[in-house]
Amino acid sequence: MYQPITLSGFEAREAALKNIKRYVDEHTPTMFYRTTDWMHSWRVLAHLENIIPLATKVFPGFNIEFTRRIAITHDDLEMITGDIQLYRKEQMNEKEQKELQEREAAAIGQLRASSPFGIDGYPYRELLQVAKEKKIIEAQVVSYCDKFDGFGEALHEVFAGNHCFLRPAGGTQNGGYIRRLHDFETKYPSLQALLQQEHPMFHPPRIDFEPIVAEGKPHTAVSIVTPTGYAPYDCWKANVMRVEGITALTEQQEFKERGQKSIP
């Protein structure tokens, strides 16, 4: 349905992104199903492709193939800057934000200098720049899919019984990813036409995750394909399984204690 994405000349990028683990923070010391930036990039693409029919319907001229390559490369700057947790970015003062912007600008130049000119004819520098600035509708849609994947990762842990992920999911006062996803229409008014469409990725319901995490158990080949009744999570799982299968969603990598074989 879509054009293959050719990453010829970018082979070292895969290893670098696989080395960047997500959610590495004192608040989330254990992530049962730890992900990497490499996995995350392809999952963001999967979420994007799920809503492309709606995006092209409400945004005439929406550049599908350009947007798909923004999705794949949106976190490439982290190969230079490292992965800074989103809540820490939100807490930065003006000086810290400026310093981060300068680091990211320098990272764009460094990556462009050490990489091929482009991906399938799309200039690499432009892909990195638009993903960073989020000024065009294509980059804003990718940003939404990026946050939706972060939300899904947190939900995956909550449904497995990992209390560390109540905060990122939105089970505390700060609202986590639910709050961030609901804020998109205010932050990016141009997205309203898309986000007002009927789709399980949009406007995730605010629910009490405490009972869910309390009853959570490790995911299995059966449970992972069983609907949970929470549409955003079921959609996230379906998108991921469409491109990865179920192994990454069921193969537990980390435990609460070293040597622990099951989650109590």
> Given its phi and psi angles, is residue 163 left (phi above 0), alpha (psi -120 to 50 degrees) or beta?
alpha
Average pLDDT of the chain?
93
Name the DSSP class of 21: B
**pLDDT > 90: percent of the chain:** 85
The Cα-based distances of 2 to 45, 46, 67, 111, 229 in angstroms read 11, 12, 12, 26, 31
| 235-261 per-position pLDDT tens digit | 999 999 999 999 999 999 999 854 333
- How high is the pLDDT of residue 160? 98
| 110-166 per-position pLDDT tens digit | 999 999 999 999 999 999 999 999 999 999 999 999 999 999 999 999 999 999 999
- How high is the pLDDT of residue 115? 96
User: For residue 229, is pLDDT > 70?
Assistant: yes
């799920």: which residue's tokens?
A: 50
The crossing angle, in degrees rounded to 10, of helices 94-113 and 124-133 is: 170
H-type alpha helices, the chain: 11-18, 37-58, 64-73, 78-81, 86-90, 94-113, 124-133, 137-158, 166-169, 176-182, 184-187, 192-195, 210-215, 231-244, 247-250
CB neighbours (10 Å) of residue 192?
12
**DSSP codes, 191-225:** GHHHHTS--TTSSPPP---HHHHHH-----TTGGG
Considering the domain 14-250 in this protein, what is its CATH number? 1.10.3210.10
**pLDDT > 70: percent of the chain:** 96
pTM of the model: 0.94
* Rounded-to-integer distance, Cα 199 and Cα 185, Å: 15
User: For residue 195, is pLDDT > 80?
Assistant: yes
For the chain, what are the domain ranges? 14-250
Residue 262: pLDDT band (50, 70, 90) is very low
Buried b (16+ CB within 10 A) or exposed e, 116-136: eeebeebebbebbbbbbebeb
Instruction: Out of 147-156, 164-173, 194-203, pick the least confident.
Output: 164-173
Six token digits for residue 35 = 């992900």
Residue 173: pLDDT band (50, 70, 90) is low
Residue 252: name the closest of 128, 137, 149, 162 by CA.
162
- How high is the pLDDT of residue 259? 39
- How high is the pLDDT of residue 264? 33
CA 165 to chain centre: 15
Residue 87: pLDDT band (50, 70, 90) is confident
**Burial class of residue 113, CB neighbours in 10 A (0-12, 13-18, 19+):** exposed
> Please, which residues bridge with residue 118 across strands?
123
User: For the residues 11-34, what does the mean pLDDT come to?
Assistant: 95
